[in-house]
Structure 1
Amino acid sequence: MTIEEKTEVRNYLIAKKLPVDLLMEVEDHFVSQINHLQSEKNLSFNDAFNAAIISWHDDLKLKWDGNFSLEDTSDFIKKSANNKIYPVFKQAVWVAFATSGFIWMVSVIIPFYIFHVLFCLFIISLVTIPILIFWQNRKLYKDLGRFQTLPISPYQSLGRLFFFPVSFLWTFSFGLEIDSGFMSSLSSKDIAAKVILFLFIYFEVIVIVFQQKYIKTMKNVYPYIQENF
């Protein structure tokens, strides 16, 4: 297959709004399928390409599925994104539950003044980790920042979001104000605060995992983007 023919395949897939990580996979399938049809059935490139397009038509068909973004997408993109994103959400729930339980256990075992310091340090570290990860990979973020409009991966939206000043300030302020009976209190106010604390942990875990996966994806797709975009 010539460079021009590969470019034609790639442009077709780009028009189908595939994120780059998925585009690379599908392009390989398309090229292999076209080469197979050309060699096995002695078809021209155009005929083999059209046959591949027909076989992928239902998967790559763009349509609006009622999402808030109002952008058309395909079942193939949604399925791929769900397979990557939902496991992270499920994992984060268990991590948040386990962390909340561990915090409660520690609050019971150790003196409150020690727990109070450790709790505040925990909040600081939970917010600091994404910032440190971003700083370590700042060159990669900067280099790919030139392609901000290019969809790279389902992890992209939260992988770029690494700091939440409002949630951090609220939670840190809350950490400074808690008293020794907070963790065992069943008052509606304290229960609501615990729920918000749980959601804070849950969301920060998601951000950290998304960020790590996004960075890994960026490293994989960067050479491809440099070569083709």
Structure 2
Amino acid sequence: MTELQLTQIRNYLLEKKLPIDILLEVQDHFVSQINDLQKEENLPFDKALEKTKKSWEIELKPYWNGGIDLIDRSKLLRETNKINFKVLVKKSLTFSIPVILILFFLSKLISFQYFEIIFVAFVGLIYFSPLINYLIHLQDFKLIKKYQNYVLVSIQEYSVLMIGGIYFYFRFITDGYKLAEVFSSFSPNNFNWDFVLGFLIVNAILMLSFFVIFSQKIYLQRIEKVKPFLQYLKPSN
């Protein structure tokens, strides 16, 4: 397949406003499907391309589904986003729940003096990990802003979810010990809603942190595959 033919495929898929990581996968399918049609049905490239476009028409056509999300998205993108979100939530819960249970039992095994330090240090490390990872890989994450007219990776919005929360990072540093105290003071004979609220807050912190950590991991893996394609995109600045 010639470069001109690949450009036709690429430009068509860019019009569908697909995230570039998904576009690259669809582009591979287009090339394979067109090659098969040329061999099996002896079609010229233009006719094979049109037939391939028609077979993908329903999957790639952007539309509004009537929900609160006003952005037009294709069926393929909606399904991909749904799968990504479910996988990330499930994986985050798989890590956050065991961590919070370990912290709870640890609070009953050691004195509060030591538990407070361990709690703030351990939860804080997880909580600050997305920010640290963002700074370490700053150049890769800055590509999101540089090419903000495009979506480079389908989960990129999740990968920077906590970066702007400086206030909440500061509050955790100053008030994290209060959450540790809630854990340590819990007793089955003296049940209180403060423990339930503290438990839910810590679980939310851990789950959101793991959610972003795994999103960043996926982003960094996929952006490496996307980088060669950036030559075909126009930077926003």
- TM-score with structure 1 length normalisation? 0.90
Contact 1:104 1:183 in 2 (8 A): no
C-alpha change, 1:50 and 1:197, in structure 2 (3 Å) is: same
* Alpha-carbon distance in structure 2 between the residues aligned to 1:63 and 1:120: 46
- Cα deviation, 1:3-39, whole Å, max 9, x if unaligned, reads 2221111111111121111100111111111122122
Contact 1:130 1:211 in 2 (8 A): yes
Name the SS for the 1:36 alignment partner: helix
**Residue matched to 1:179:** 181
Contact 2:21 2:154 in 1 (8 A): no
Question: Any stretches of 5+ residues in structure 1 without a counterpart?
Answer: none
Contact 1:171 1:197 in 2 (8 A): no
Question: Any stretches of 5+ residues in structure 2 without a counterpart?
Answer: none
* Alpha-carbon distance in structure 1 between the residues aligned to 2:128 and 2:112: 24
Contact 1:167 1:200 in 2 (8 A): no
- Cα deviation, 1:123-159, whole Å, max 9, x if unaligned, reads 3212322222122212222355421221122210021
Among all aligned residue pairs of Structure 1 and Structure 2, give the percentage whose two residues are the same amino acid.
Answer: 27
- Counting only pairs closer than 5 Å after superposition, residues 158-169 of structure 1 correspond to structure 2 as 158-163=158-163, 164-169=165-170
Q: Do structure 1's residue 203 and structure 2's residue 208 form an aligned pair? A: yes
Moved more, 31-40 or 16-25: 31-40
- TM-score with structure 2 length normalisation? 0.87
* Alpha-carbon distance in structure 1 between the residues aligned to 2:30 and 2:218: 26
Q: Which amino acid aligns with 2:185?
A: F
Aligned residues between the structures: 228
Moved more, 120-129 or 21-30: 120-129
- Counting only pairs closer than 5 Å after superposition, residues 33-44 of structure 1 correspond to structure 2 as 33-44=33-44
* Alpha-carbon distance in structure 2 between the residues aligned to 1:94 and 1:183: 24
- Cα deviation, 1:133-192, whole Å, max 9, x if unaligned, reads 122212222355421221122210021234322333344443223537434363123321
Q: Which amino acid aligns with 2:216?
A: Q
Q: Do structure 1's residue 225 and structure 2's residue 226 form an aligned pair? A: no
- CA displacement at 1:104 relative to structure 2: 0.4
Contact 1:144 1:222 in 2 (8 A): no
Q: Which amino acid aligns with 2:169?
A: F
Name the SS for the 1:73 alignment partner: coil
Q: Which amino acid aligns with 2:181?
A: D
- CA displacement at 1:208 relative to structure 2: 0.9
- Counting only pairs closer than 5 Å after superposition, residues 128-147 of structure 1 correspond to structure 2 as 128-143=128-143, 145-147=145-147
**Residue matched to 2:13:** 13
* Alpha-carbon distance in structure 2 between the residues aligned to 1:63 and 1:142: 29
Name the SS for the 1:49 alignment partner: helix
* Alpha-carbon distance in structure 2 between the residues aligned to 1:222 and 1:210: 18
- CA displacement at 1:70 relative to structure 2: 0.6
* Alpha-carbon distance in structure 1 between the residues aligned to 2:105 and 2:78: 40
Q: Which amino acid aligns with 1:69?
A: D
Q: Do structure 1's residue 118 and structure 2's residue 123 form an aligned pair? A: no
Q: Which amino acid aligns with 1:78?
A: R
Q: Do structure 1's residue 87 and structure 2's residue 87 form an aligned pair? A: yes
C-alpha RMSD over aligned residues: 2.0
Name the SS for the 1:200 alignment partner: helix
Name the SS for the 1:6 alignment partner: helix
- CA displacement at 1:218 relative to structure 2: 0.9
* Alpha-carbon distance in structure 1 between the residues aligned to 2:152 and 2:105: 41
